[in-house]
Structure 1
Amino acid sequence: MTTRRRRSALYMPASNARAIDKARTLDCDVVILDLEDAVAPDEKAAARDRVIEAVREGGFDERELVVRVNGLDTPWYADDIAAIRAVGLAAVLVPKVSSVADLLTVRASLGEDGPPIWAMIETCAAILALPALSAAAAETRLTALVVGTNDLAKEMRCRLGTDRMPLIPALTATIMAARAAGIVALDGVCNALDDPPRFAAECAQGATLGFDGKTLIHPSQIDAANAGFGPSEEELAWARNVVAAFAKPENADKGAIRLDGQMVERLHLAKAEATLGR
């Protein structure tokens, strides 16, 4: 069993050719070329052209290549979609998706054969719509939920401390919606570039909650994200023990076994196989 890793998803400004070139050399699992927040209005068209050129040039190797387009309610959305829907992306990341109607609109814009959708969950309406968004995932080819913590905190008007306590219900709701649909859940960015311990703590928190990985705003965050969302040596050792135990002939037909003083079921075997796949 193999599972694609999405521990680190790095936003790179699509208007910056040097940043795009650098992305081809970085150890992130996902590169998100950003046409939205990272690009000034008068640079949108040039950035769009640069994305098309970068995708056609390739060189991103095993990194998943995703483009974040401008929002549905902006004057740039239609041109973004028209330009990228047939260039072979892993996915299109859409900001401020708040309803199934939004997903259906994007799917219609991309076409049935266009790339999958990654939806940013960054409004209160989106949190309330998570069950419906999850239920519509197969129909709309929604394959990831990406939390936009900055915009969500702004709309909530919450006081966001280092523990992110006000956002925990929204974070866990997003993860549950993703799991119900069998899709990916990515944690929001950490703005504290000069505070590595805080970033490491956010990665640990996100991994503990159940996220697959974290969105990043700077290459300096990649190593910590890869470490924080990758299996620890302890987790790998446990997974190997579980798989080896169930592989024994005497356990072939058993639904549960005793291992190291604990009752281990086949659901734990599936979890162990997923851990090794990561």
Structure 2
Amino acid sequence: MTTPHLAPRSLLFLPASNPRAIAKARTLAADAVLLDLEDAVADDVKAAARDAAVAAVREGFGDKLAAIRVNATDHPEHAADLMAVTASAADVIVLPKVEIAADAAAVAAASSKPLLAMIETPRGVLAAAEIAAQPGVFGLIAGTNDLRATLRLPPSAPRESLSHALQTIILAARAAGGWAFDGVYNRLNDAEGFVTEARAGRDVGFDGKTLIHPSQVDPCNAAFAPTPDEIEEARALIAAFTGGAERFRDRMIEAMHVDQARALLARMSAAGD
């Protein structure tokens, strides 16, 4: 499904059971807040977390997208989650561990909200194109932690070990006209490593990245924003273009490159950069 808005760069996960984290999120520059009812919430507080998530999106997060991640379709709390989120003020519903396209379609239809499907298993990767093409599915999120586990990668395996899976997710999202988001970065004290991974994600085509700590928000926004050189190049290219194929700064350009330049400037403008 073609999305109506520019994709968020920074998508901050936080436990819906943590009121301090929710309050803190309202002060951050994250483009989207993802209130979690799944992995970050213990089973004995899931009902309370669900109520807290509904209350939080009712209060709102300013101009940030407000999303709620429900429990997976095979979880005992899924039906209650879906009912609550459907009636809530959430902008987006996030569905984890999607492997079957019909599941994503059913949740999107039942909630009447844009759905982001998390691809976290080999079956999910292989079905990603079908999942992304379902009505109501606005994009895909790479669940890199679960992907590492389900692919049986050793803890020392480099990110390149996920390259095929990540590119498959991006291709599937783009083929459907949707968004694609990179997975989380776990090493909270490794700021340099985070920036390197975020930039690598942008370079392979991700729109943004999911985050697990407030300290990652600003570096993420910077990593996925156009650079000053890219902005200057885009403006100059648009100004120089006269139609058809022509030479610009020792390379050939055509209308496609102008469209790309305009999209880059639109993203810059929307982000306030």
TM-score when normalising by structure 2: 0.93
Q: In structure 1, what is the equivalent of residue 264 of structure 2?
A: 275
Report whether the alignment pairs 1:194 with 2:176.
no
Q: Which structure 1 segments of 5+ residues have no match?
A: none
Q: In structure 1, what is the equivalent of residue 131 of structure 2?
A: 133
CA separation in 1, counterparts of 2:153 and 2:102? 28
Q: In structure 2, what is the equivalent of residue 117 of structure 1?
A: 115
Q: In structure 1, what is the equivalent of residue 222 of structure 2?
A: 227
CA separation in 1, counterparts of 2:178 and 2:21? 29
Q: Which structure 2 segments of 5+ residues have no match?
A: 268-273
How many residues are aligned here? 264
Q: In structure 2, what is the equivalent of residue 206 of structure 1?
A: 201
Q: Deviations over 1:10-41 (max 9, x none)?
A: 00110011111111110111100011111110
- Cα deviation for residue 134 of structure 1 reads 3.0
Give the alignment partner of residue 45 of structure 2, picking from 36, 43, 68. 43
Q: Deviations over 1:191-215 (max 9, x none)?
A: 0101111111100110111100000
Whether the 8 Å contact between 2:129 and 2:173 is mirrored in structure 1 is no
CA separation in 2, counterparts of 1:131 and 1:160? 28
Q: In structure 2, what is the equivalent of residue 164 of structure 1?
A: 159
Output the amino acid matched with 1:178: A
Output the amino acid matched with 2:118: M
User: Following TM superposition, where does structure 1 have runs of at least 4 consecutive aligned residues deviating by more than 3 angstroms?
Assistant: 160-163
- Cα deviation for residue 108 of structure 1 reads 4.0
Q: In structure 2, what is the equivalent of residue 91 of structure 1?
A: 92
Q: In structure 2, what is the equivalent of residue 173 of structure 1?
A: 168
Structural RMSD (CA): 1.4
- Cα deviation for residue 144 of structure 1 reads 1.3
CA separation in 2, counterparts of 1:65 and 1:24? 11
Whether the 8 Å contact between 2:132 and 2:139 is mirrored in structure 1 is no
Output the amino acid matched with 1:115: K
Q: Deviations over 1:53-111 (max 9, x none)?
A: 111112x111111100011000100001111113232210000011112113313432x
- Cα deviation for residue 131 of structure 1 reads 2.2
CA separation in 1, counterparts of 2:23 and 2:38? 19
| Structure 1 stretch displaced more, 154-163 or 201-210 | 154-163
Q: In structure 1, what is the equivalent of residue 26 of structure 2?
A: 24
Q: Deviations over 1:159-197 (max 9, x none)?
A: 354740110001111111111111100000000101111
Give the alignment partner of residue 249 of structure 2, picking from 246, 257, 260. 260
Report whether the alignment pairs 1:146 with 2:144.
no
- Cα deviation for residue 245 of structure 1 reads 1.6
CA separation in 2, counterparts of 1:157 and 1:72? 23
Whether the 8 Å contact between 2:7 and 2:179 is mirrored in structure 1 is no
CA separation in 2, counterparts of 1:45 and 1:127? 30
CA separation in 1, counterparts of 2:127 and 2:208? 22
- Partner SS, residue 49 of structure 1: helix
Whether the 8 Å contact between 2:132 and 2:140 is mirrored in structure 1 is no
Identical residues among aligned pairs (%):
47
| Structure 1 stretch displaced more, 161-170 or 24-33 | 161-170
CA separation in 2, counterparts of 1:3 and 1:83? 25
Output the amino acid matched with 1:86: A
Whether the 8 Å contact between 1:12 and 1:33 is mirrored in structure 2 is yes
